[in-house]
Amino acid sequence: MPLPVGELAGLATSLCWSFTSIFFTLSGRLVGSPVVNRTRLVLAFVMVSSLHLVTQGELLPVYADPERWGWMAASGVIGFVIGDACLFQAFVMIGPRLSMLLMALNPVMGAVLARMLLSESLTAGQLAGIALAISGVAWVVTDRRNGRDDLPDASLRFYVIGVLFGLGGALGQAVGLIASKKGLEGDYSALSGNLMRLTVATIVIWALAAANGQMRPTAQKLRDHPRAIRFIVGGAIAGPFLGVWLSLIAVQNAPVGVASTLTSLTPVFLLPLGWLFFKERITQRAVVGTALAVAGTAILFLT
């Protein structure tokens, strides 16, 4: 019996994204989430462009038409610059487990936005999946225990702001994916599209850093915290490089619904990993709510 390559790659993708969130949380608490976002984009660009050179024969997809570049540029700015800025701040404020649970609402937001902007229809099963995912996330988020005593600031206001950043990260990713869908029309290479997103996002985020006088402070923080550099490198390898590569293998070798479900299991992996790395208290409510959220996402993908 042949190994289920696509399914194994999907599970490995979720595990990679779990470690990515842990690495970026650890580095963000050392040097701040903006520094992490800027640095990991440079590393991700180098890795993905190198892979693109090997597989596609060119460093950048320079011959793509301007309209495609426009859509992918919008996707990169919205998803990587704005969405990930919110997500990385959520990592620092509420931890990776809860942040990635909120990111489980990304496909829910994407489905709703696609219905509004692209006139895509939603079946009764998909609507049920959306309701289940939202209910599961809401049930976990409204649990005031949630291990908050282990966070840098356990105040309710701090917690609520962290949750809002997590929701902002999910919304940014959802809008970015809508733009990506437009940019990838015509079966355009997903790797090339991702590199286009990274290219524009990297230029924009460092231009903003230069305009705000953050170039030297960024370098200084990295010099003062060499451990943060190691965490950022680890996160960049696990996520934008290995995670994206494995997700493409999953989609190519397994049904899309199955692959999408398996690559969305990060909140499940983060239940034990959150306890292991951050000593988070894992309540029964957290386990059940996470299961409901993941089940709702699976229904959305599989129906």
Read off the pLDDT of residues 241-267 as tens digits, 9 standing for 90 and up: 788 778 877 867 777 667 778 888 899
Domain ranges for the chain, please list them: 5-126+160-266
For residue 270, what are the contacts with CB-CB under 8 A and spacing of at least 6? 18, 21, 22, 96, 97, 100, 101
The Cβ of residue 277 has, within 10 Å, a number of other Cβ atoms equal to 17
- Poorest-pLDDT segment among 71-85, 100-114, 115-129, 269-283: 115-129
Residues 151-179: b if buried by 16+ CB within 10 A, e if exposed: beeeeeeebebbbbbbbbbbbbbbbbbbb
- Residue 280 or residue 213, greater confidence: 213
pTM: 0.87
Q: What is the pLDDT of residue 165?
A: 96
The band of 144, judged by pLDDT with boundaries at 50, 70 and 90, is low
State how far the Cα of 88 lies from the Cα of 27, in Å rounded to an integer.
10
Residue given tokens 């390559």 in the structure block: 5
The band of 16, judged by pLDDT with boundaries at 50, 70 and 90, is very high
Q: What is the pLDDT of residue 145?
A: 59
Angle formed by the axes of helices 284-302 and 96-103, nearest 10°: 30
C-alpha torsion 249→253→259→263, nearest 10: -20
- In this prediction, residues 90-112 reach a mean pLDDT of 88
Angle formed by the axes of helices 124-141 and 96-103, nearest 10°: 160
Residues 191-224: b if buried by 16+ CB within 10 A, e if exposed: bbbbbbbbbbbbbbbbeebeeeebeeebeebbee
- Poorest-pLDDT segment among 58-62, 156-160, 286-290: 156-160
Q: Is 49 exposed, middle or buried (0-12, 13-18, 19+ CB in 10 A)?
A: middle
Residue given tokens 């919205």 in the structure block: 78
The band of 143, judged by pLDDT with boundaries at 50, 70 and 90, is confident
State how far the Cα of 87 lies from the Cα of 40, in Å rounded to an integer.
13
* CA proximity to 196, closest of 184, 210, 208, 185: 184
* CA proximity to 44, closest of 76, 22, 12: 76
pLDDT, tens digit, 9 for 90 and up, residues 174-207: 888 888 888 888 878 888 888 999 999 999 999 9
Residue given tokens 């859509």 in the structure block: 71
> DSSP character for 147?
T
Alpha-carbon 279 to chain mean position? 23
pLDDT at 5 over 60: yes
Q: Is 263 helix (H, G, I), strand (E, B) or coil?
A: coil
